[in-house]
Amino acid sequence: MSHQQPSPSPHRRQTTRLGRRTFLRAGLAGLTAGATSMTWGPSAMAHTDLADAEFTVACRTEESFAECARPSGQWNWVGVSSCKLRYRTGYQGPNLADKPALGSHPNVTTFPFNGNFKGLCNDWAKYLNQVVRDVRSENIDWVGSAGTFACTSGQHGTGSAFDLTRINGTGNLRVDMNRHWRPGQSRGHRRRYLGVMASCRQYFRVVLNGWHDTDGTHGNHIHFDNAGSTTRLAFRNEPNARTDVTLVQVSARLLGINRNIDIDRIWGPITERAFQDLRKAFKIDTLPSPIGNRESTYLFLDLIARTSLGNFAAGDITYSDLSAGDDVK
* pLDDT tens-digit readout, 113-157: 988 899 999 999 999 999 999 999 999 999 999 999 887 777 888
Where residue 227 falls (left for φ over 0; alpha for ψ -120 to 50; beta otherwise) is: left
pLDDT: which is higher, 166 or 329: 166
Contact between residue 34 and residue 123 where contact means Cβ atoms under 8 Å apart: no
Q: What is the pLDDT of residue 152?
A: 79
Alpha-carbon span 155 to 297, nearest angstrom = 24
User: Which of the residue ranges 63-77, 91-105, 289-303 would you say has the lowest mean pLDDT?
Assistant: 63-77
Q: How far is CA 290 from CA 26, 112, 163, 284, 297, in A?
A: 15, 34, 26, 10, 4
Q: Which helix (H) or strand (E) holds 188?
A: helix 187-203
Query: Which residue from 302, 317, 276, 311 is spatially nearest to 24, judged by alpha carbons?
Result: 302
Give percent above pLDDT 90 in the chain: 62
Alpha-carbon span 201 to 204, nearest angstrom = 5
Alpha-carbon span 324 to 329, nearest angstrom = 14
What's the whole-model pTM score? 0.79
Assess whether pLDDT exceeds 70 at residue 159.
Answer: yes
List CB contacts of 255: < 8 A, sequence separation 6 or more. 191, 194, 278, 281, 304, 307, 308, 312, 313, 314
Q: What is the pLDDT of residue 111?
A: 95
Assess whether pLDDT exceeds 70 at residue 20.
Answer: no
Assess whether pLDDT exceeds 60 at residue 17.
Answer: no
Alpha-carbon span 160 to 115, nearest angstrom = 8
Task: Determine how β-strand 77-78 pairs with β-strand 103-104.
Answer: unpaired
pLDDT: which is higher, 235 or 62: 235
Reported as a pLDDT band with limits 50, 70 and 90, residue 240 is: confident
**Residue ranges per structural domain of the chain:** 20-322
Reported as a pLDDT band with limits 50, 70 and 90, residue 158 is: confident
State the CB neighbour count (10 A cutoff) for residue 59: 23
Query: Which residue from 249, 245, 265, 268 is spatially nearest to 257, judged by alpha carbons?
Result: 249
3-class SS of residue 145? strand
Query: Which residue from 305, 103, 115, 314 is spatially nearest to 207, judged by alpha carbons?
Result: 305
Alpha-carbon span 131 to 50, nearest angstrom = 30
Q: How far is CA 234 from CA 91, 219, 227, 300, in A?
A: 36, 26, 15, 11
Contact between residue 135 and residue 310 where contact means Cβ atoms under 8 Å apart: yes
Mean pLDDT within 63-83: 79
pLDDT: which is higher, 67 or 153: 153
Alpha-carbon span 315 to 284, nearest angstrom = 11
Mean pLDDT within 168-195: 97
Reported as a pLDDT band with limits 50, 70 and 90, residue 95 is: confident
Reported as a pLDDT band with limits 50, 70 and 90, residue 2 is: very low
Q: What is the pLDDT of residue 19?
A: 41
Q: How far is CA 25 from CA 31, 142, 298, in A?
A: 11, 33, 12
Contact between residue 226 and residue 166 where contact means Cβ atoms under 8 Å apart: no
Please give the sequence-ordered ranges of beta strands (E in DSSP) within the chain, or none if there are none: 73-75, 77-78, 80-87, 90-91, 103-104, 111-113, 140-147, 161-169, 174-176, 206-208, 222-225
Query: Which residue from 84, 169, 86, 161 is spatially nearest to 130, judged by alpha carbons?
Result: 169
Assess whether pLDDT exceeds 70 at residue 80.
Answer: yes
Query: What is the secondary structure of 272-293 as a DSSP string?
Result: HHHHHHHHHHTT-TTSPPSBT-
Q: What is the pLDDT of residue 231?
A: 60
Q: What is the pLDDT of residue 230?
A: 56
Q: What is the pLDDT of residue 50?
A: 25
Mean pLDDT within 195-219: 93
Q: What is the pLDDT of residue 309?
A: 99
